[in-house]
A and B are shown apart, each in its own frame.
Chain A
Amino acid sequence: MSDHPSPKPGSSSSLSDGELLHAHEQAVADKTDDRGSYKLLPLVLLFTFSGLIFFGGTYLNLFSGHFDPRIFDERALPHTVDTSVKMDPVVYGKKLYESLCINCHQPTGLGVPGTFPPLAGSEWINGSEERIVRILENGLKGPITVKGMNFGTVPMPAVGAGGANWSDDKIAAVLTYVRQAFGNTSGPVTEEKVVEIHAKIGAHAEWSPEELLKLP
């Protein structure tokens, strides 16, 4: 053929479209292998593909961070990075307070006279950490005096394992928040302290005020 790509009629070498389809259909048709011929190419391609898949799979295993969405460095492994974020316990505690405690103790922390004791200025809240941690872990039942007023008609449900199932860090956070809100000025309750008390008491029914008052 010349420089021109134009077709040359009658050129024996060119395939018509029909011949093109037919010839290639023949090429992929299943043929009986009468001569028992051995073809190397399919095997080579199979090995090539398997090799690529093997290499790719290994590479993916090494550098994918086990498909952990929090891993941004492909050389890191999930357990080697601590991606947890420490929140300010006061902010966290406020969120927790507003999700549960607020229902009875009110946004003001003043409670409802005669039914729900106040947290603002309460000698219990600002007193022994030992006692309030136990109240949150297991609940409180029985007559109780807060700021000279009597309560106890409605028991305080457990917030820890027996009730709302809050973890120790949540209990520490909400106590820390309450002890500095509503005009209270007591220090924070650490998570370590809550864990320590939790381990000491184990599973326990609701506490009564008398039991708690014996504690330091």
Chain B
Amino acid sequence: MTQVTSNALSESDTSSRWPLSLLLCAALKWLVLAGVLSVISTIQLHTPSFLADCSWLTHGRTQALQETIFIYGWAANVGFAVALWLLGRLGGAPLRGLGLLTAGTVFWNLGVAFGLVCIAMGEATGVPFLQMPAYVHPLLLVAYAAIATPGILAWTGRRQRATFATQWYAVAALFLFPWLYSAAQVMLLGAPVRGIGQAVVAVWFGQNLLSLWLIPIALAAAYYLVPKLTGRTIANYDFAPHGFWALLFFGAWTGTRQLVGGPVPAWIPTMGIVATLIVLFHYVIVALNLRGVLCGDKRDIALRFVSFGLVAYLIGGIFDAIFAFQTFAEVVQFTYFPMAQLKLALVGAYSFLILGAVYYLAPRITGLAWPSSGLIRMHFRLMVLGTLVTVVSLGMAGWTQGHALLDAKLSFAAIAASTRPWLLAATAGEAILLLGSLVLTVHFFLLQAAAGCSTFGSTAPAMEASAS
């Protein structure tokens, strides 16, 4: 019965319980589906004949599907839930516009589902991270506006004039996404720019979807959870604004580093490389601010997720900067290596940070503790193992493949054969991640079931079961 007391369960949490639970349920459903498709598409990397007879599940489509589901299904839904919850908490009042939020959530997820069917039928656009056909995106943009409204209302109607780093990052993410998304829709699908301009816009969009939308939400969660869980204020907090602006200003330029050696004017990739380097300043500030995470109680599971996520984020930033340089980029470009970097950013950094927030907020919106600490530990271990195995094996596959591709004497078949062991390991890693997602999903539905019983049924047994 420990949870339903004092500040643990504020009014703002109970009122937003159902809309946020809906977002989280949708997110977890997509996470499992993304995991399944990741496993399939990774198997197809080393065994191309796998499901090759089924046109809906050929590699080009499973790859586009898993990427789209992960971003627009899992990352978006869970990001919305966390960002809105954080803004509501720090706004000091219950979230407003929850009807809009629910409607937006329903239409966003219907839109994503429709887009996925279109991709499976072969309608994919071929633009990374914007695979759904042009006619789906406007629906998602309108649904997004409805979803973001409670967050913006919580920000503009906040009770205290003072603002906190969490709010900057969360509000920036809410405002930047429609800019990135609508600009990319117009310039790539609606009225496509001509020639290489498309490649430039595509890398700009792909990178910024991560740097200016997902990562800010994850950092908003980290800036909130670290002081909450350690009980101390953020170290060197006066530098936090510099870290924020460094990401917003320089982060937007980093995407074009991927075009190195491509048919674009030389200054475009060079600009991307320089921006990737200068963004390191942002990573320095984040490391400085959130180093308190290492002083916290190691047994706290949310803190463990946040710690791993932060370390992955910092390592990812350093790797991005190193492998942006021409010397290394020439080797790893067009190999499995960028896939490993993306995995590190999306799973290692984003998912871990956001899962820390999910483990923290779910008991607060439902008013019940997580049913089983064993399942939480199991999920954490599976996630860590799966992430490490996938990232390391894809990275090694890419590194060996990159060197081999530069050797004109090696045949393409021989190179493909040499990467096979690493790809098998990556498949195992993806399977472990899928298992972890299943554990989390089952656990979350157990929590929701217990919460449902406590609301609608005779409350006593469920509440006792949950008390720990």
Contact = CB atoms under 8 A, between A and B. Distances in A.
Interface string A149-173: 0000000000000000000000000
A14 B233 contact: no
Question: Which range contains the number of B residues in contact with the other chain?
Answer: 35 or more
A59 B369 contact: no
B233 A2 contact: no
Nearest to B468: A4
Contacts of B359: 5
B377 interface: yes
A21 B271 contact: no
Interface string A47-75: 01100110111011001110111111110
Given A6-B3, A7-B364, A24-B164, A64 B90 contact: no
A6 B6 contact: no
Given A10-B6, A15-B228, A28-B237, A56 B263 contact: no
Count chain A CB atoms within 10 A of each CB in B160, B227, B266 and give the residue with the most: B266
B266 A8 contact: no
Nearest to A30: B238
B265 A48 contact: no
B297 interface: yes
B284 interface: yes
Interface in B1-51: 2-3, 5-8
Interface in B64-95: 89-90, 92
B242 interface: yes
B234 A5 contact: no
Contact of A7 (B3, B373, B377): B3
Contacts of A2: 299, 373, 468
Interface in B304-332: 326
A71 B231 contact: no
Interface in B221-244: 224, 227-231, 233-234, 236-242
B235 to A, nearest CB: 9
Given A41-B236, A71-B266, A76-B266, A5 B468 contact: no
B370 A73 contact: no
A9 interface: yes
A45 B282 CA distance: 11
A45 B242 contact: yes
Interface stretch (B101-109, B273-281, B393-401, B435-443): B273-281
Contacts of B173: none
Q: Is the interface of B mostly helix, strand, loop or mixed?
A: helix
B363 interface: yes
Interface string A87-120: 0000000000000000000000000000000000
B270 interface: yes
Nearest to A64: B267
A81 to B, nearest CB: 11
A214 interface: no
B265 A68 contact: yes
Interface string B237-255: 1111110000000000000
A68 B266 CA distance: 8
B277 A56 contact: yes
B233 A7 contact: no
Interface in B142-188: 160, 162-165
B56 interface: no
Given A7-B8, A55-B277, A56-B274, A24 B233 contact: yes
A68 B265 CA distance: 7
A4 B89 CA distance: 21
Interface in A1-55: 1-18, 20-25, 27-28, 41-42, 45, 48-49, 52-53, 55
A56 B272 CA distance: 10
B463 to A, nearest CB: 13
B416 interface: no
B338 interface: no
Count chain A CB atoms within 10 A of each CB in B224, B233, B264 and give the residue with the most: B233
Nearest to B263: A72
B297 A1 contact: yes
B277 A3 contact: no
30 contacts: A1-B297, A2-B299, A3-B377, A5-B302, A5-B363, A6-B2, A6-B3, A6-B369, A6-B370, A7-B8, A7-B363, A7-B364, A9-B8, A14-B229, A15-B233, A20-B228, A21-B160, A21-B162, A24-B164, A24-B165, A27-B238, A45-B281, A49-B242, A59-B270, A59-B274, A63-B273, A63-B326, A64-B270, A68-B266, A72-B264
Given A2-B468, A4-B369, A22-B160, 16 more contacts: A1-B299, A4-B373, A4-B468, A5-B229, A6-B370, A10-B6, A17-B92, A20-B90, A20-B227, A28-B241, A42-B239, A45-B284, A55-B277, A56-B277, A70-B265, A74-B269
Interface of B: 2-3, 5-8, 89-90, 92, 160, 162-165, 224, 227-231, 233-234, 236-242, 263-267, 269-271, 273-275, 277-278, 280-281, 284-285, 297, 299-303, 326, 359-360, 363-364, 369-370, 373, 376-377, 468
The 5 closest A-B pairs by CB, nearest first: A13-B231, A3-B373, A25-B162, A74-B266, A64-B267
